[in-house]
Structure 1
């Protein structure tokens, strides 16, 4: 299989996986200390499951029926006096409309992002067995980034299993021929990066969340697969991206030096760039 075809297949996989992320992103994106969301964006119906769209089908159906009824009633009253439309909109939202609520994440954003990440990983890794690991972990990374950007929270049900899953899958990949990494270094990388972030958290709890520490364990595992140089490169890239973003906010006067930012997306982006470099060099 050529690199182009492999990247295309990976992009299709990423797009399909990305379409399943909005519901999980919606349910997980709550402030720290609050339970995961269990009702639709309008608050009318319970949400079941974690994969799929975030929009509530029952709310959409009832909204279409209500809108159709309003149009029919408006037509009847407009025929009588021609003032129905102005009366409906004078008070803002029509009676019975759901209140303004949290804007659920869209598959139109998550699917292309996941597809692009998967295609890039496939182009860099080729047909080596660890590619399957990267393609399975990539949607989780996109999901974590989406949640952290929204509410500055990295959920334990995602960060902790990600680290365990990365090490378990890389252990299986190490048993297959033609792999280009080392499982033991992946384990050491997970421990080292987790310990390093924990030290930063202890030194400055206000500048580093404990969720970042847990996420660093998983990122250290995937970077460590390709060696210590990849760990250093991915770690440096994450801090550099975060610093550039924070500096841009300060220059734009949208933040100051004490403003907290979501660091998880930069940790993940740095690991992604380090992984690309390590895969190309392997």
Structure 2
């Protein structure tokens, strides 16, 4: 009963953390939604009002310019519930998994920011992705060192490399419909999925392709894209990883 209470508390805390980061996402996503090679926005693109220096210019709850009132970044109506749902489902699925659970929740909250940027400019910024990769790999080292398995850690590295290579090859073969940024994000997600086995790695990769294909078909029917058009794959990758975690959650024994 005590373990169930702890798991429930962790899930509720993760829901709150996901909602909080979802509320802070719009401004950061707005500033980072620029073309490749361009610096982050220093002020409102509509009226030119500069952002505050330091963290205050990046993380704030308001999603509109203080001067002209134009919305900056994605709507809070989707970043908050999606952030809460993703973090809560991850925590509930990985209950009792220690540092691996922390890695999963981190992926879910940063994933909202990555999805928002990808939807805006079809780009997944390298500085965010590589820092996320280092953080997830580090958390899994802690998981292996505090009762987990070093064999599982080796498999996590293998899973990340496999998805990175697989989606990287597809990026080269599809002429840009799958980007190298997508491949890098797939590699990061493969770290967590690989920790739990090759089945989750395969499931996450296949689900990402199926989800992206389904979205493409719907947009083609609605005439929102053409046959030669491209669409952001980051959200499909992140959603697929979450679905894979939810699928394997009931099968996981508690971490040592």
TM-score under structure 2 normalisation?
Answer: 0.86
What is residue 10 of structure 2 aligned with on the other side? 6
CA distance in structure 1 between the aligned counterparts of 2:190 and 2:36, rounded to whole angstroms? 24
Q: Which of 45-54 and 111-120 deviates more? A: 45-54
Tell me the secondary structure at the aligned position of residue 45 of structure 1: coil
What is residue 279 of structure 1 aligned with on the other side? 249
Deviations 1:58-89 (A, max 9, x none): 52xxxxxxxxxxxxxxxxxxxxxxxxxxxxxx
2:28 aligns with one of 19, 24, 28: 24
| C-alpha contact (below 8 Å) 2:18/2:84 kept by paired residues | yes
What is residue 59 of structure 2 aligned with on the other side? 51
What is residue 228 of structure 2 aligned with on the other side? 258
Count of aligned residue pairs for this structure pair: 243
| Structure 1 residues 183 and 279, CA gap change in structure 2 (3 angstroms) | farther
| Structure 1 residues 205 and 160, CA gap change in structure 2 (3 angstroms) | farther
Return the offset for 1:108: 3.6
| Structure 1 residues 195 and 56, CA gap change in structure 2 (3 angstroms) | same
| C-alpha contact (below 8 Å) 1:118/1:138 kept by paired residues | yes
What is residue 210 of structure 2 aligned with on the other side? 240
Deviations 1:31-79 (A, max 9, x none): 23322111135312234333223546752xxxxxxxxxxxxxxxxxxxx
| Structure 1 residues 7 and 261, CA gap change in structure 2 (3 angstroms) | same
What is residue 219 of structure 2 aligned with on the other side? 249
CA distance in structure 1 between the aligned counterparts of 2:148 and 2:171, rounded to whole angstroms? 38
Return the offset for 1:196: 0.9
Q: Give matches, 1:101-250, under 5 Å.
A: 103-129=72-98, 130-177=100-147, 182-250=152-220
The gaps in structure 2 that reach 5 residues or longer are none
Q: Which has the larger radius of gyration?
A: 1
Deviations 1:129-176 (A, max 9, x none): 021221222211111001101111111111111122111111111122
| Structure 1 residues 38 and 23, CA gap change in structure 2 (3 angstroms) | same
Return the offset for 1:214: 1.4
Return the offset for 1:279: 2.8
| C-alpha contact (below 8 Å) 2:103/2:192 kept by paired residues | no
The gaps in structure 1 that reach 5 residues or longer are 60-97
CA distance in structure 1 between the aligned counterparts of 2:145 and 2:232, rounded to whole angstroms? 37
Tell me the secondary structure at the aligned position of residue 20 of structure 1: helix
CA distance in structure 2 between the aligned counterparts of 1:181 and 1:237, rounded to whole angstroms? 25
| C-alpha contact (below 8 Å) 2:155/2:194 kept by paired residues | yes
Tell me the secondary structure at the aligned position of residue 114 of structure 2: helix
Return the offset for 1:101: 5.6
CA distance in structure 2 between the aligned counterparts of 1:180 and 1:244, rounded to whole angstroms? 37
TM-score under structure 1 normalisation?
Answer: 0.79
What is residue 94 of structure 1 aligned with on the other side? none
| Structure 1 residues 43 and 54, CA gap change in structure 2 (3 angstroms) | farther
User: How large is the RMSD of aligned CA atoms in angstroms?
Assistant: 2.3
